[in-house]
Amino acid sequence: MTDRTNPELVIVLDFGAQYAQLIARKVRQCNVYCELLPHDTPLDELAKRQPWGVILSGGPDSVYAPGAPVPPRELFELGIPILGICYGMQLMCHLLGGSVTRGIKREYGKADLEVLSDADLFRGLPQTMTCWMSHGDSVATLPDGFHALGKTANTAHAAVADTDRRFYGVQFHPEVTHTPRGLEVLRNFLYGACECSGSWTVASIVDSAVAAIRQQVGESRVLCGLSGGVDSAATAALVHRAVGEQLVCLFVDHGFLREGEPEEVQRTFAAHFGVNLVTIDASERFLARLVGITDPEQKRLRIGEEFIRVFEEEAGRLGDFPFLAQGTLYSDVVESGPHNAAQIKRHHNVGGLPERMNFSLVEPLRGLFKDEARAVAGELGIPDEITWRHPFPGPGLAVRVIGEVTREKLDILRQADTIMLEEIKRAGLYREIFQALTVLPDVRSVGVMGDERTYGYPIVVRCVTSEDVMTADWARLPHDLLECLSTRIVNEVPAVNRVLYDLTSKPPGTIEWE
Ligand code: XMP
């Protein structure tokens, strides 16, 4: 039984669902803190965290398949409310004595759910509602104590409950937008069965992060690497709020930043936080490491190594720092888990600092998704230019200049990039677009300007939309905006005589070119 003096927490057990992360995000949207854990998390570890409720996710398996994932059986004896979704519901019914039939009536896509009981999960919801189904197996007979809460034309047990034990199951997916009232179903589970009050708000996240940092750090000094992006900025602001002068921020300018970026980062931090900021202009030494290097992975490797070297040198010079603060997000934690996809590129950021540097890590955003980190940044008064800045790779423009990186090419790319961003912002599309970038390929082509032959570089404009970074689509920009980009870049950047727009989604492309 959960001790309800502990903060509200709901655990999603992941059975391999495509939508497991989405469930966690939706629970958090209901202002209830939620964590995703593997399905085989040991019972004592689950119990120790004192969850107010547990959600069993869907998954690709059939409950009768050999090796099908199961939760610890005693989970059902802890007295904690449980919601099973799709496979999670089938599993719960199967483990508690019901039966599941295999793929007789498959159901994929939208279905009309007839609500049989307007209490519990469906409190305040209509008698019939659209829901999204994606299953081959179905629950045939219910375990003792269960009854149906809803059905569809093909599924007699589309929603079920044992209200005494506070066990619920839905065959449909309440977490997807194709179930328009799905969030309310989840909210009914969280606020009704689990008795949560929705106390997890941005203000409460900031308060508890600040308290946790104070407790972790005590009187010691903390070093924080700033990149100019929202995650490291919010991290620094939290640490600063917690321990003030004990924080020193280190901003390494590797020379591959966009126009005006180093100045902007320094200005923002001086103006808004009054933090101790040390800026290192290391552009010469980074550029020197890339002479003659054309292979993308070599570039990344060398920049990563040089970054560590500069960081180590400066940390040594600045004195004793037992703690290193960094802006690791929950998605980084989940993605670097055991089911992580094949490594496509060697990503470089401050998180790549080696363990032998002997820092203890302070990672106040480790439990947050990007949108939540942005909300924290807003709460902390970080200006919109940083909060809503598009993601920017650690190696910066060096992976957007294809082939050897030279000062001349960086300058060309910077000018084109500035124009592109100006026009995207002017068109009011900056927030809609996940990432907008320009690339300078290592080719030249012939053109004609003012009756004269030109032999110049093309600039590739790449704008993508994305929810999760893992997949992305090219943004459908208005033709007049494309025209304006092309005209301005060719007219204003002397070495450029062509502009291309990248029409590749991810996959098969990646967002960056290298
Ligand atoms: P790709 O190109 O793999 O990029 O589709 C996915 C996202 O990651 C960013 N990116 C990086 N971020 N260090 C980072 O911190 C890196 O080395 C790095 N490389 C790519 C990229 O801009 C996109 O948002």
What span, in angstroms and rounded, lies between the C-alpha atoms of 161 and 148?
Answer: 7
Q: Is the beta carbon of 254 within 6 A of some atom in ligand 1?
A: no
Residue found by looking up tokens 């007789």 in the block = 104
Question: Phi/psi at 367 (nearest 5 deg)?
Answer: -95, 5
- Helix-helix angle 370-379:230-243, to 10 degrees: 50
Q: Is the beta carbon of 349 within 6 A of some atom in ligand 1?
A: yes
Averaged over 97-114, what is the pLDDT? 85
Residues 6+ apart with CB under 8 A from 312: 357
Q: Is the beta carbon of 512 within 6 A of some atom in ligand 1?
A: yes
What span, in angstroms and rounded, lies between the C-alpha atoms of 278 and 153?
Answer: 65
Q: Which of 332, 511, 513 to probe ligand 1 with, by most ligand atoms within 8 A of CB? A: 511
What's the CA-to-centroid distance between 246 and ligand 1, angstroms?
31
pLDDT in tens, 268-297: 888 877 889 999 999 999 999 999 999 999
What local confidence, expressed as pLDDT, does residue 27 receive?
96
Query: Does residue 52 register a pLDDT over 80?
Result: yes
Q: Is the beta carbon of 186 within 6 A of some atom in ligand 1?
A: no
pLDDT in tens, 430-470: 999 999 999 999 999 999 999 999 999 999 999 999 877 87
Closest CA relative to residue 271, chosen from 279, 260, 263:
263
CA of residue 453 relative to chain centroid, distance: 47
What's the CA-to-centroid distance between 158 and ligand 1, angstroms?
41
Alpha helices (H) in 319-369, listed in sequence order: 330-335
Q: Which of 230, 390, 512, 514 to probe ligand 1 with, by most ligand atoms within 8 A of CB? A: 512
pTM of the model: 0.80
Q: Quick one: tokens of 260?
A: 């005006």
Domain annotation for the chain: domains and CATH numbers: 10-193 (3.40.50.880), 202-387 (3.40.50.620), 400-501 (3.30.300.10)
Question: Contact 160/89 with Cβ under 8 angstroms?
Answer: yes
SS3 170: strand
Residue nearest (by alpha carbon) to ligand 1 atom 20: 393
What's the CA-to-centroid distance between 11 and ligand 1, angstroms?
29
What's the CA-to-centroid distance between 394 and ligand 1, angstroms?
7
CA dist 131 to 142, 154, 185, 495, Å? 21, 13, 11, 55
Q: Is the beta carbon of 347 within 6 A of some atom in ligand 1?
A: yes
Length of the chain: 514
User: Per DSSP, what are the bridge partners of residue 276?
Assistant: 248
Whole-angstrom Cα Rg for the chain: 26
DSSP character for 66?
T
What span, in angstroms and rounded, lies between the C-alpha atoms of 36 and 368?
Answer: 12
Question: Contact 224/217 with Cβ under 8 angstroms?
Answer: no
Residue found by looking up tokens 């999760």 in the block = 468
Query: Does residue 400 register a pLDDT over 50?
Result: yes
Q: Quick one: tokens of 136?
A: 């081959």
| Shortest-distance atom of ligand 1 to CA 437 | 22
Q: Is the beta carbon of 435 within 6 A of some atom in ligand 1?
A: yes
Closest CA relative to residue 113, chosen from 166, 193, 190, 182:
182
What local confidence, expressed as pLDDT, does residue 332 receive?
76
What local confidence, expressed as pLDDT, does residue 312 receive?
87
pLDDT in tens, 321-369: 999 999 988 877 766 654 444 456 666 554 456 666 778 999 999 989 8
What local confidence, expressed as pLDDT, does residue 144 receive?
97
What's the CA-to-centroid distance between 323 and ligand 1, angstroms?
26
What local confidence, expressed as pLDDT, does residue 354 receive?
65
Residue nearest (by alpha carbon) to ligand 1 atom 22: 393
pLDDT in tens, 197-250: 999 999 999 999 999 999 999 999 999 999 889 999 999 999 999 999 999 999
| Shortest-distance atom of ligand 1 to CA 506 | 5
Query: Does residue 406 register a pLDDT over 80?
Result: yes
In the chain, what is the greatest distance between 2 CA atoms, to the nearest angstrom? 86
Residue nearest (by alpha carbon) to ligand 1 atom 23: 511
Query: CA 55, 59, 64 angle in degrees (round to 5)?
Result: 105
Question: Is 417 exposed, middle or buried, given 0-12, 13-18 or 19+ CB atoms closer than 10 A?
Answer: buried
Closest CA relative to residue 512, chosen from 346, 335, 289:
346
Closest CA relative to residue 347, chosen from 413, 399, 405, 418:
399
Residue nearest (by alpha carbon) to ligand 1 atom 19: 393
What's the CA-to-centroid distance between 472 and ligand 1, angstroms?
12
What's the CA-to-centroid distance between 465 and ligand 1, angstroms?
14
Catalytic residue set: 86, 173, 175
Residue nearest (by alpha carbon) to ligand 1 atom 7: 469
Q: Which of 329, 347, 417, 434 to probe ligand 1 with, by most ligand atoms within 8 A of CB? A: 347
Residue nearest (by alpha carbon) to ligand 1 atom 8: 393
Residue nearest (by alpha carbon) to ligand 1 atom 17: 347
Query: What element of type H or E holds 264?
Result: helix 261-272
| Shortest-distance atom of ligand 1 to CA 346 | 17
What local confidence, expressed as pLDDT, does residue 352 receive?
57
**pLDDT band, very low/low/confident/very high, at 102 (cuts 50, 70, 90):** confident
Q: Is the beta carbon of 372 within 6 A of some atom in ligand 1?
A: no
Q: Is the beta carbon of 471 within 6 A of some atom in ligand 1?
A: no
What's the CA-to-centroid distance between 278 and ligand 1, angstroms?
25
Q: Is the beta carbon of 229 within 6 A of some atom in ligand 1?
A: no
DSSP character for 251?
E
What span, in angstroms and rounded, lies between the C-alpha atoms of 465 and 424?
Answer: 13
What's the CA-to-centroid distance between 225 and ligand 1, angstroms?
18
Question: Contact 160/147 with Cβ under 8 angstroms?
Answer: yes
Query: Does residue 509 register a pLDDT over 90?
Result: yes
DSSP character for 440?
B
| Shortest-distance atom of ligand 1 to CA 390 | 24
CA dist 96 to 1, 138, 488, Å? 19, 15, 67
